[in-house]
Amino acid sequence: MQIKTNPKNLSTSALRVIPVFQANAEETLVAKLGMSGPSKALFSGKKDTSYSLELDTQVILLLGLGENPEYKTLETTFRRILSKHSDLVEKEVILDFPDTFSTEQIESAIVGFKLGTYSIGFYKKEKAKDFAKLKVEVITGIEKAKSIVERAEKIAEAKIEAFRLVDLPPNKITPEYLGDWAKTQAKKYKLDVKVLDVKKAKSEGLEAFLAVGRGSAKEPKFIILEYRHPKAKFHLGLVGKGVTFDTGGLNVKTQAMHHMKSDMGGAAAVLATTQLVSDLGLAINLTAIVPAVENAIDKDAYLPSEVIGSHAGLSIEVIDTDAEGRLILADGLSYLVKNYKVDQVIDLATLTGSSIGTFGFECAALFSNDGDLSHGLQRAGEEIGEKSWPLPLWENYGKEMDSEIADIKNYHGKPFAGAITAAKFLQAFTHDHPAWAHLDIAGVAFGDGEFAKTKTGTAYGVSLLLRHIENQL
């Protein structure tokens, strides 16, 4: 896709897209078309509406935006252009923005437009329409439009990577694949990378991580990516749950197991965010850790009632092998805090069904021991359309994880407070870091949507983390 801003000569054969706010719909149409356009009964700029017409041999698509659309709403609206109106698109598209569009609105529109090129039909004989050679012309009165478009393209590219990593099947997305992905992106985006194999992970004491991977023929990989900026005054640490497929282990899942390719949604968000931070050249230091494993079943699989070790030195009684994500995160968090002086620690994980029971599919469950960090993530999510809401970390919940035989158990075995007790388990491995946040994204990383007939990845966390980081610069 080739995107140009404010070209001198506009093609009359291109699809011309005009976004319209409901409050000034007639004014916009007169300015852009030289007439008031269709009657209000046909098109008034109402949210989630569209209208196509032909004027002087040019096909025009009017997009209704409603009164005051949020960032995510605009992104979705523009994603529909290529995803749902591809029959109107041949070789060229003109995005003709009204003067009332702000810089952020332009950005969200371009991000969404490029996301419209994504399709999950990776293995179909008949492929979706290819937009690689599509020419796009952006018309806007905003200064530095080119830099806005370039930034939006980088955001979209990172989100598409997150889509892919979640949506591709588990025979493709293995721990080794994620390790190779990290190495490839490290070369492209000038990152430092280390991928620890089993032998190296053992020498580092990553015993909980290795226990989860014991039952799989696919070797686990402990991935570390480092981005450094010479003017950085802030160091962020990220940990993403990278269970490339989750059978539940010997506590085997009994339903919807085919959706468990999505159990690395946290890893996808962390890896894509690291790519994006480097691509944008943000003035921070970032260390990202992804413990990547497959939770499978064979003669070597770890057992319920086993006591295993951990990087933090705590012994863990395994109550449930399907509570595996918190085990690999425990080692990831401990390794990060012990080896890097990070100002904030944020982990993202598709961790518990309990978080879905609490919030449905509307937002992530947020846990933090730092009020400023918690409020910052909430605010960033509200601004960008990737919401979270806090739950408590009261010490009484931690007592639910007490073990008689070990320092801690990985599951309390009770039908309540599952997301909270999981967060308390993780907190035990943060070495009392003063600014830690845990985002349980089980309900928002993978789900039903309008762009596919099946559940797909959402890239939740990429825009949220970007906004959180930039709010602090």
Distance of CA 201 to the CA centre of its chain: 27
Q: In Å, what is the CA distance from 182 to each residue of 188, 196, 271, 279, 457?
A: 10, 12, 8, 14, 19
Nearest CA to 178 out of 201, 191, 161 is that of 161
User: Which tokens hold the place of 253?
Assistant: 């899942």
Question: Among residues 302, 419, 300, which one has the least CA distance to residue 352?
Answer: 419
Parallel, antiparallel or unpaired: strands 221-227 and 92-96: unpaired
Distance CA(143)–CA(365), nearest Å, equals 39
Characterize 125-142 residue by residue with b for buried, 16 or more Cβ atoms within 10 angstroms of its Cβ, and e for exposed. eeeeeebeebebbbbbeb
Report the DSSP beta bridge partners of residue 59. 54
Which helix (H) or strand (E) is 64 found in, with range?
strand 58-64
80 is catalytic: no
Give catalytic status of residue 326 as yes or no: yes
| Residue 260 DSSP code | G
Hey, which residues does 196 pair with through a beta bridge?
222
Burial class (CB in 10 A: 0-12, 13-18, 19+), 102: exposed
Out of 151, 326, 387, 409, pick the active-site residue. 326
Q: How many residues does the structure list for the chain?
A: 473
| Identity of the residue numbered 82 | L
Query: What's the rounded Cα separation, in Å, for the pair 288 and 279?
Result: 15
Q: Which residues are catalytic?
A: 253, 326
